[in-house]
Amino acid sequence: MILSVSRRTDIPNYYFEWFCNRVREGYLYVRNPMNERQISYIDLSPEVVDCIVFWTKNPEAMMGRLSAIEKYPYYIQFTLTGYGRDVEPGLPDKQTVLLERFRKLSCMIGKKRVIWRYDPILFNPIYTPDYHRKAFAAIAGKLEGYTERVVISFVDSYAKIRKNMAALKAGYLPEGELRKFAMQLAAMGREHGMIVESCAEAIDLQEEGIRHGSCIDSRLIEEITGGRILAGKDKNQRKECGCVESIEVGTYNTCKNGCRYCYANFSEAAVRSYTDKYDPYAPLLCGEIRADDKVTMRKMKSVIDGQLSIPLFSQ
């Protein structure tokens, strides 16, 4: 099985100690966000975990502890945008800190396994198409040779973030302008040796040079593991999402990055309430087992069909 660590929160940034402790213990718990009383027991043994996909905006906490996950194939999605602290208030400086961490991480684990995410893209009077073009080009230039792929998406108006989007005066481009903008990003990506892919976008940008991507990507996982992945599309994601099925281990309302476009945090008060419960030694992330909770062992099995070839790169 493939683990998603995590779409719901930045585990490498804030909770990597917890994750390392869970790996050492061999299991973790995940509360079902749709049924608060239901908790899944997730087996973390390397025999059933085929690959781990990490998502982060600041990998510093994990970079000194990669030996804790050396038994697992993995790759890391690293979001690095041009926004200031009005949109991403909880992050270190991009130019002086995060760009260098991206490059260092790439040198540590290989450029195939660090995916650059320039997403989501929102447009407003400050963050205009021209602003994004300049920011994208500048970051791409600094990351040339350190990654092979960049993922883009355009901000969606989830109900939970509409107030924030209104405060930022966020809007949308007409389709013609959006396609022209996307074509320009694709050209800049190619100039710096990167394939540009979209994430869960309904619009087809193939003619503009951007293919539909998969964040939980069977092609990349097959390259890493050397085996064929027998997993279908993740039915728990939007229909536009190309990801193969995975098990999500994160918890909503636990990310302290504070990004204004984030759909995974309901409010600042909710984040404080959840993160106050953080215990790096607990099986459940930012939560406690209650008397009326039902813990069920999740059925876990490998989805790799043998070894088709030698993996293209090692841990």
Q: What is the DSSP string of 216-261?
A: S-HHHHHHHHSSEE---B-TTS-TT--PBP-EE---TT---S--TT
- Report if residue 159 sits inside a domain: yes
The closest of 9, 28, 8 to 18, measured between CA atoms, is 28
Spell out the residues 6+ positions from residue 22 whose beta carbon is closer than 8 angstroms to its own.
28, 44, 283
Task: Give 110's pLDDT tier (boundaries 50, 70, 90).
Answer: very high
- Report if residue 121 sits inside a domain: yes
Query: How many C-beta atoms surround the C-beta of residue 283 within 10 A?
Result: 19
Domain count, the chain: 1
pLDDT at 314 over 50: no
Tracing tokens 């260098």 back to the chain, one arrives at 100
Task: Give 242's pLDDT tier (boundaries 50, 70, 90).
Answer: confident
For 138, phi then psi, to 5°, come to: -65, -45
Mean pLDDT of the region 216-241: 87
CA quadruple 295, 299, 300, 305: dihedral, nearest 10: -170
Given a contact cutoff of 8 angstroms between Cβ atoms, the answer to whether 36 and 42 are in contact is: no
DSSP secondary structure code for residue 110 in this structure: -
- Where do the DSSP E strands lie in 32-73? 38-43, 51-56
- Report if residue 248 sits inside a domain: yes
Given a contact cutoff of 8 angstroms between Cβ atoms, the answer to whether 149 and 117 are in contact is: no
Given a contact cutoff of 8 angstroms between Cβ atoms, the answer to whether 178 and 134 are in contact is: no
- Report if residue 288 sits inside a domain: yes
- Report if residue 314 sits inside a domain: no
Q: Which domain holds residue 155?
A: 2-305
Condensed to tens digits (0 to 9), the pLDDT of residues 300-312 reads: 899 998 655 545 5
Condensed to tens digits (0 to 9), the pLDDT of residues 5-24 reads: 999 999 999 999 999 999 99
- Report if residue 68 sits inside a domain: yes
- Report if residue 154 sits inside a domain: yes
pLDDT for position 307:
55
pTM above 0.75, yes or no: yes
Task: Give 315's pLDDT tier (boundaries 50, 70, 90).
Answer: very low
pLDDT for position 162:
85
pLDDT at 46 over 90: yes
The closest of 77, 47, 44, 7 to 303, measured between CA atoms, is 47
- Report if residue 312 sits inside a domain: no
Condensed to tens digits (0 to 9), the pLDDT of residues 180-222 reads: 999 999 999 999 999 999 998 989 999 999 999 999 999 999 9
